[in-house]
Amino acid sequence: MESITSLQNAKIKEWTKLHTKKGRDTSSRFLVEGEHLIEEALKENCVDTILTDQHCPFAFPHTVLVTPAIMKKLSVNVSPVHLIAVCRKKKWERKAMKRVVLLDGVQDPGNLGTLVRTAQSFCFDAVICSHACADLYNEKTVRSTQGALFHQPVFYADLKDAIATLKEDQFAIIGTSLQSSVPMASISLQDQMAFVLGNEGNGVSQEILAMCDQNLRIEMSGFESLNVAVAGGIIMYHFRP
């Protein structure tokens, strides 16, 4: 097993850059922490290197023994972490789809990660994010997905172009809005459906809502709106294929 003891080691310096979006985008790599996330990454053959300062529970050929000081430098957790993996970003290919969720400027990493995890749970074929959304590989987003990002196709795109393509493929495009909307229960199931969820503060932009076939609102009392991840969970469960 390879061993690294110096904080000034070139590999450690390169892996530290993965704490930034620029570093992740440049290398197409990102860090995950903890046994569960690493196990999910291994299932999809996304792991380059596993780092540990103790015993590694995985029979992975490229495992590096490092010091606790190095683990602390690479970890973003307050509590000590004993397993970190350097992972490759997965490249997804477009395929035939029936259920899609589109995210218009969802900026909170926790919300984005939860929505990706929910899409995986309810068998949605893809999550399409606008370029104004949070970074999928931000450590908070990764943690919130609980490993779903290794199994759930996620794309970043111009939402106007994405909606135009989905319409060409005969998708019904359903926006979410309190204005000019119908109750969720009144929308009938269709073979191909895409649902647009919006920014935490401003909702779905008017420009995107204008491209939707109709808008839904979730029937509720007491409040006008829900957290976007909660609303997305309700919608994806209700319209799951």
User: Is pLDDT of 7 > 90?
Assistant: yes
* Tokens read off for 135: 């970074």
What is the pLDDT of the chain when averaged over all its residues? 96
pLDDT at 38: 98
Distance of CA 142 to the CA centre of its chain: 7
* pLDDT at residue number 224: 74
Given a cut of 80, is residue 116 above it in pLDDT? yes
Q: What is the pLDDT of residues 25-58, one digit of tens each?
A: 999 999 999 999 999 999 999 999 999 999 899 9
User: How many other C-beta atoms are found inside a 10 Å radius of the C-beta of residue 118?
Assistant: 23
* pLDDT score recorded for residue 217: 93
Q: What is the pLDDT of residues 63-99, one digit of tens each?
A: 999 999 999 999 999 889 999 999 999 999 988 999 9
Q: What is the pTM of this model?
A: 0.94
pLDDT reported for residue 118: 98
Concatenated DSSP letters of the chain: -EEE--TT-HHHHHHHGGGSHHHHHHHTEEEEESHHHHHHHHHTT-EEEEEESS--SS--SSEEEE-HHHHHHH---SS---EEEEEEPP-------SEEEEEES---HHHHHHHHHHHHHTT-SEEEE-TTSPPTTSHHHHHHHTTGGGTS-EEE--HHHHHHHHHHTT-EEEEE-SSS-EEGGGSPP-SSEEEEEEBTTTBS-HHHHTTSSEEEE---SS-S---HHHHHHHHHHHT--
pLDDT, residue 110, reads: 97
For tokens 């970890």, the residue is 75
Hey, what domains does the chain have and what are their CATH numbers? 2-88 (3.30.1330.30), 99-238 (3.40.1280.10)
